[in-house]
Every structure is written in C-alpha cells, then in structure tokens.
Amino acid sequence: MSEFIYLASQSPRRRQLLEQLGIRYELLLPDDGEDSEALEVVRPGEAPATYVQRVTGLKLDAAIARLARRGLPPAPVLCSDTTVARGRTIYGKPEDDRDAARMLRDLAGATHRVLTAVAVQKGRTRRAALSATTVTFAPMSARDIAAYVATGEPRGKAGAYAVQGRAAAWITRINGSYPGVMGLPLHETAQLLRAFAVAPT
C-alpha cells in the first residue's frame, strides 16, 4: 500500500479536496523552465471531453518525466484538469477581465457543463476517469458581471468563476459532482486511488 501520492497541480482547491479525503500527498510542481500553459491549447474542432482528457494526459506525462528527472521515491502521481463547455464551445481560463466578462455573459441565464478529467499513474500503469456536471446560472446584469469580475475571483478559473466562491450566489442548480466543479471529483478520485492501493481514511 502506498503511504502517499504525488499531486501534480498548483490548485489550492485540489489540495483541499485531497485533504478532505484524508489522502497524504506531496506536491510535484513544474520546474521553472516548463511551459504548463502550452499544454492547455485547444485543437481546432476538438470536443470538450476529448480536450480535457487529452490535456490531463499531457500533464501526467510531464509529471512522470519530472518525477524521474528528480529521482524521487516511487508513488502514484495524480493529475487533473477542468474545463467549462456550452455545446462544443470550451471556456478555459480567462486571458483578462474583459475575457472573463465575455465568458460570464455567455454562461449567465444558461446551463453549461463542467468536465473534470482525473488520471493517476504509478510505474507503467495508468488509470483515468471523467466527471461531467451540469451547472445552471441565473441571469446576470452587466453590473452584476462587472462587480463579480472586479473581485478578481474569475482569474485562473475555467469558465471565469469559482463555484465555492461568490459565484455561488448566481448558481441555481448543480447536477453531478460539486467537488468535480471545484476541480477534483472525489468519488472518481477515490476509486482511482483504491486501484493503486491508496485508501481514503
């Protein structure tokens, strides 16, 4: 049984969710020379589910190489990626406040999907899962959107919002995994980790 896993994510929310499961982890973050953002480029015509699973796989490839390069002790490595989609339109992290406002205008008063892919690897064995959740937003006025963007919360968030933050005031319905919308679906993650003999406490 593995006593800990490596978490290859800079997201504080994913750390919090692993702690909620009682999973011991060590961070396996990119080196200064690694261009993590380049892994998240969307291919033309790429479906959202295909995209988020491909990006998660690329992140895990990079993390496994990082583990070997650093000569660290073996343990399962976990990667995850989240994207927001309406139809085939992918809403990643906003480039700036104007981009965040554009995304929120598109999502306001509508239902969208939040797709979170999780992948775990130890040695040559890799397992992966995909969580899909639908989220419905109430209508938002231009003033509502401007006020929310001004909080800074949309920065670095897929779809320009944080479900666990102030955006919750505008969410009327969630059908699926709430932690999956945060960035790490706990049921799927626990199942993957059990396959590597890592049991939530």
Which active-site residues does the annotation give?
81
Torsion sign over Cα 113, 80, 127, 4: negative
Closest to 147 (Cα-Cα) out of 83, 100, 112: 100
Per DSSP, the three-state class of 175 is strand
Contact indicator for 79, 136 with CB cutoff of 8 Å: no
Burial (0-12, 13-18, 19+ Cβ within 10 Å), 119: buried
Any alpha helices (H) in 90-185, and if so which ranges? Answer: 97-107, 142-150, 178-182
What angle do the packed helices 186-195 and 12-21 form, to 10 degrees? Answer: 70
End-to-end distance of the chain based on CA atoms, in angstroms?
Answer: 13
Q: Is 53 helix (H, G, I), strand (E, B) or coil?
A: helix
**Are 109 and 86 in contact, with CB atoms under 8 Å apart?**
no
